[in-house]
Amino acid sequence: MLWLLFLTLLGPGGSVPVREQHGTVGVHDAPPGQWLWQASLQWHSKEREQWEHVCGGSLIHPQWVLTAAHCTKRESPQASAFRVQVGQLRLYDPDRLMKVTNIIPYPDYDHLLSAKGGADIALLRLEAPMTLSPHVRVVSLPPASLRVPERKMCWVTGWGDIILRGPLSPPHHLQEVEVPIVGNEVCNRHYQNSSADAAHQIIKDDMLCAGSEGQDSCQGDSGGPLVCGWNRTWVQVGVVSWGDVCGHRDFPGVYTRVTSYVSWIRQYVPPPRP
């Protein structure tokens, strides 16, 4: 499914290279009623005159969506350029698109460094609150003190690529894959081994790694949620951010660590009512 949404945008703005992918990423169709907070961030293609999925996201409050900052950094990152779809397993129902009225990237995010610079997280405020229903729910945020143990099995979801250079085919059904958490030190060594600067810390403290050979997210899943079971509920511990190769044993997926940003999120998004 996912990787750092380095795709060519349709409309104003330039393009950046797509990351290489490697084989399949072990995904399968998500069952109905499972991931009810999954969102699709869509950008209007002037060339095709239609809305197109560019990133994932998660509903963390009826009026707020959590996503990756690199998903919103365009030549003209106006809120009106985006729409959000929530509550559907399949993409592209024009009657279900919500307008975005405000984009709030984390202030330390550096668009020149993109996701590899860290702080790859952003909030989207919807025009109106979503009506919660059997098809739409919010996902819980973890306490800032939560430590996700290495090798814990968690889930990532999205509408990204599923095979080598292979986009998800119609009817564009939401995909899911179970992935193991990889410790930051181990993950950093993997990435350093392929880096020209082996002394440089590539996996920063605000990042979280997850994935194994054939079990990964991929191009187009950026911004989507990584969730783990905790206290008999699902909590979002990561935001799909970047990675060098999809589904490769030596390159786990890299996620923004949500616990590093809970206090910032709560400056804008009220906690759930008791």
Cβ count within 10 A of residue 4: 25
Q: Quick: pLDDT tens for 156-188.
A: 999 988 765 577 877 889 999 999 999 999 999
The model carries a pTM of: 0.88
Residue type at position 272: P
Domain map of the chain by residue range? 36-138
Q: Are 140 and 223 in contact (CB under 8 A)?
A: no
Residue 271 backbone dihedrals phi, psi, to 5 degrees: -70, 160
pLDDT for 8: 29
Catalytic residues: 70, 120, 222
Q: What is the DSSP letter of 81?
A: G
Q: Quick: pLDDT tens for 56-65.
A: 999 999 999 9
Token digits of residue 210: 């997850």
Q: Are 172 and 1 in contact (CB under 8 A)?
A: no
Cα(220)–Cα(165) distance, rounded to whole angstroms? 11
pLDDT for 219: 82
Biggest distance spanned by C-alpha atoms of the chain: 51
Q: Are 230 and 160 in contact (CB under 8 A)?
A: no
pLDDT for 42: 94
Residue 8 backbone dihedrals phi, psi, to 5 degrees: -75, 125
Token digits of residue 169: 């085919």
Of the chain, the percentage scoring pLDDT greater than 70 comes to 85
Task: Give Cα 246 distance to the centre of its chain.
Answer: 14
Task: Give Cα 174 distance to the centre of its chain.
Answer: 13
Say if residue 257 is exposed, middle or buried (CB neighbours under 10 Å; 0-12, 13-18, 19+). buried
66 pLDDT exceeds 50? yes
pLDDT for 236: 98
pLDDT for 147: 95
Q: Are 82 and 124 in contact (CB under 8 A)?
A: yes
Q: Under CATH, domain 36-138 is a member of which superfamily?
A: Trypsin-like serine proteases (2.40.10.10)
Cα(78)–Cα(91) distance, rounded to whole angstroms? 22
pLDDT for 257: 98
Q: Quick: pLDDT tens for 85-125.
A: 999 999 987 778 999 999 999 999 998 899 999 999 999 99
Secondary structure of 200-267 in the HEC alphabet?
CCCCCCCEEEECECCECCCECCCCCEEEEEECCEEEEEEEEEECCCCCCCCCCEEEEEHHHHHHHHCC
